[in-house]
Chains A and B, each alone.
Chain A
Amino acid sequence: MRCEEKTGFLMLRRCEGPAETQCSVCGKQLCSEHTFALSPDQMTMLSIQPTTTRAVVCLACFRKTQPQQARQATQASQAADQRRRPMFADDNDPYYRYPYYGSYHPYLWGSDFSDRDRRVFDRQEARTGDHGTDSTFDS
């Protein structure tokens, strides 16, 4: 079964990854890349009974936990962040933030790049051609 999440930077399309679990809230099938682990507090926010098992959700359900967390951020830390970084259009885009240990933090420099990032440099023979169909006309 395939992951039911949408992916894509320029054009949204269905994720090609194999489903490995499902969203604890909406039941959507998810691959490992599209699962967001919840902390006990976040589980409470989404009315999930805290259990011994790990609760994972899809991005849409994970986002429902964010406004509450955003309010918890202090004015001081927000101001410091603004001074440190120039404002660009994507700075508030949740796609570019990452669930870090079940919480919600921006990417931090120094942590590893993902396998997905490294795929950009994979120079092994392409399984698909330039036009994304097959390698017959890969040139």
Chain B
Amino acid sequence: MGLIPPSTVDAPIVYYAFGGGMGHVTRAAAILRQLRRLGGAPAVVLTNTTFPQPLQHEKIPYRHITAQATDELTQQLRQHLTDLTPRAVIVDVFADGIIGDLSSILPTLPCPKVLITRHVRASHQQNRARAAACYDLIIMTEDVTPFAQVRSCSCEPILIRSAGELFTREAAREVLGVDDDAPIVLAVSTGSVAWEDDFFRLLQKIRQRKHLRAHLRVASPRASATEYAVTHYPIVELFPGVDVVVGAGGYNLFHEVLASGVQGIFLPQHRRIDDQTWRTQGARVAQSPEELAMLLEQAVHATPTIPRELPCYANGAETAAREIANLLNLLPQCSCHCAHSVPIAAPCSRP
């Protein structure tokens, strides 16, 4: 049965953000906040996340779906989409749904469909290739092979904050509660409770055993009121004040570290679809406590020699939002009739 086409221009953009951790909802929030800046349509996120902080922080409405089995999930998604009559559907990473739940829905959706995709394991690339034809636009970030016969484009890493939105070093260190010049090591996690606990304890042990004169701070959506916990969100805003970031190799943390220029040490974790080992190739990777201790010591000692300039990077979220807005004709046309759309904030520079 086909879904009802949207009846008004106020119909929302629906963003499908399923998966573990905060990565998918963070990318959803990053793109939707940029779309909002372009004057885009209202949006609703459908998600299973237990960490909705990125959406709450950006005041993006979301519907939490708890179904675990494919049939049940498909049924619930279909109900939500019928109820919302979306103007467009954006799917994050999993072209046919995280457990195949979108495969029967996508062909019946009357609205434009956009896939935001990043690098995935080879086992999932086949699913993506099969479902690609259902999409009107595919936006690729990281190393993704272009898709034949589908409108597609590449963009820089999609980040929750652009360079100009980060704090100054002084302001960031004030938020982190540090008023001296000692380096700050920031541990970041959205992993499982048990992993997070072992990870933070290990860092603390290394700092103590190596006698590192560095402040340790931990950022986690579960962080409670300890002297180490940083509750600021999004944490990337504080990276200019941090000297070493340590965490797994997920999409957001990895690209935030690279973009902001802070020293990073990664502990890539196994995920069913995400390939953190691939992503962190060439970066500082620790594969044992001894390696982590050595890399951490090196990074802390190197801190005074590393120049910290204001970060300057292109945010793929802006590119992705502009591409989606173009697809949906959300942008005003340029007054010179040059046939390209421009956001209101960036008028056409043609004579």
Taking a contact as CB atoms closer than 8 A, the residue among B68, B197, B269, B270 that contacts A8 in the complex is B197
Taking the closest CB of chain A, its distance from the CB of B150, in whole angstroms, is: 22
In the complex, are the beta carbons of B19 and A130 less than 8 A apart? Answer: yes
Taking the closest CB of chain A, its distance from the CB of B181, in whole angstroms, is: 12
In the complex, identify which listed stretch (A52-60, A72-80, A119-127) lies at the interface while the others stay far away: A119-127
| CB within 8 Å of B: which A1-48 residues | 7-11, 13, 16
Taking a contact as CB atoms closer than 8 A, the residue among B18, B68, B218 that contacts A10 in the complex is B218
Closest A residue to B287 using CB positions: A121
User: Which A residues lie within 8 Å of B271 (CB)?
Assistant: 126, 130, 138-139
In the complex, are the beta carbons of B211 and A84 less than 8 A apart? Answer: yes
In the complex, are the beta carbons of A113 and B290 less than 8 A apart? Answer: yes
Query: A107 with B21: in contact, given A10-B196, A119-B198 (CB under 8 Å)?
Result: no
B210 CB-CB contact with A under 8 Å: yes
Taking a contact as CB atoms closer than 8 A, the residue among A9, A86, A91, A131 that contacts B49 in the complex is A131
Taking the closest CB of chain A, its distance from the CB of B332, in whole angstroms, is: 37
In the complex, are the beta carbons of B274 and A120 less than 8 A apart? Answer: no
Q: Mostly helix, strand, loop or mixed at chain B's interface? A: loop
| CA distance in complex: A27, B202 (Å) | 29
| CB within 8 Å of A: which B94-111 residues | 94, 98-99
User: Which B residues lie within 8 Å of A101 (CB)?
Assistant: none
Query: A121 with B267: in contact, given A96-B205, A130-B190, A131-B50 (CB under 8 Å)?
Result: yes
Taking a contact as CB atoms closer than 8 A, the residue among B197, B213, B215 that contacts A9 in the complex is B197
User: Which B residues lie within 8 Å of A13 (CB)?
Assistant: 193
Query: A139 with B222: in contact, given A117-B289, A123-B268, A130-B190 (CB under 8 Å)?
Result: no
| CA distance in complex: A123, B196 (Å) | 14
Closest B residue to A127 using CB positions: B192
Centre residue among B99, B182, B196 by max chain A CB count within 10 A: B196
Taking a contact as CB atoms closer than 8 A, the residue among B20, B50, B196, B213 that contacts A139 in the complex is B20
| CA distance in complex: A102, B113 (Å) | 64
Taking the closest CB of chain A, its distance from the CB of B178, in whole angstroms, is: 12
In the complex, are the beta carbons of B198 and A139 less than 8 A apart? Answer: no
> What total of chain B residues lie within 8 Å of the partner, measured CB to CB?
62
Query: A86 with B198: in contact, given A131-B50, A135-B272 (CB under 8 Å)?
Result: no
Closest A residue to B190 using CB positions: A130
A118 CB-CB contact with B under 8 Å: yes
In the complex, identify which listed stretch (B135-143, B160-168, B224-232) lies at the interface while the others stay far away: B224-232
Taking the closest CB of chain B, its distance from the CB of A37, in whole angstroms, is: 20
Closest A residue to B220 using CB positions: A10
In the complex, are the beta carbons of B18 and A137 less than 8 A apart? Answer: yes
| CA distance in complex: A117, B197 (Å) | 10
| CA distance in complex: A10, B68 (Å) | 29
Taking the closest CB of chain B, its distance from the CB of A2, in whole angstroms, is: 14
Closest A residue to B191 using CB positions: A130
B310 CB-CB contact with A under 8 Å: no
Taking the closest CB of chain B, its distance from the CB of A118, in whole angstroms, is: 6
A85 CB-CB contact with B under 8 Å: yes
Taking the closest CB of chain A, its distance from the CB of B183, in whole angstroms, is: 12
In the complex, are the beta carbons of B205 and A107 less than 8 A apart? Answer: yes
Query: A139 with B98: in contact, given A113-B289, A116-B198 (CB under 8 Å)?
Result: yes
B90 CB-CB contact with A under 8 Å: no
| CA distance in complex: A20, B199 (Å) | 25
User: Which B residues lie within 8 Å of A139 (CB)?
Assistant: 18-21, 23-24, 93-94, 98, 271-274
Q: What are 21 inter-chain pairs, A to B, with CB distance below 8 A? A: A9-B200, A10-B222, A86-B182, A90-B227, A107-B205, A107-B209, A113-B290, A117-B198, A117-B205, A117-B289, A118-B288, A126-B269, A128-B194, A129-B192, A130-B271, A131-B20, A132-B194, A136-B99, A137-B18, A139-B18, A139-B21
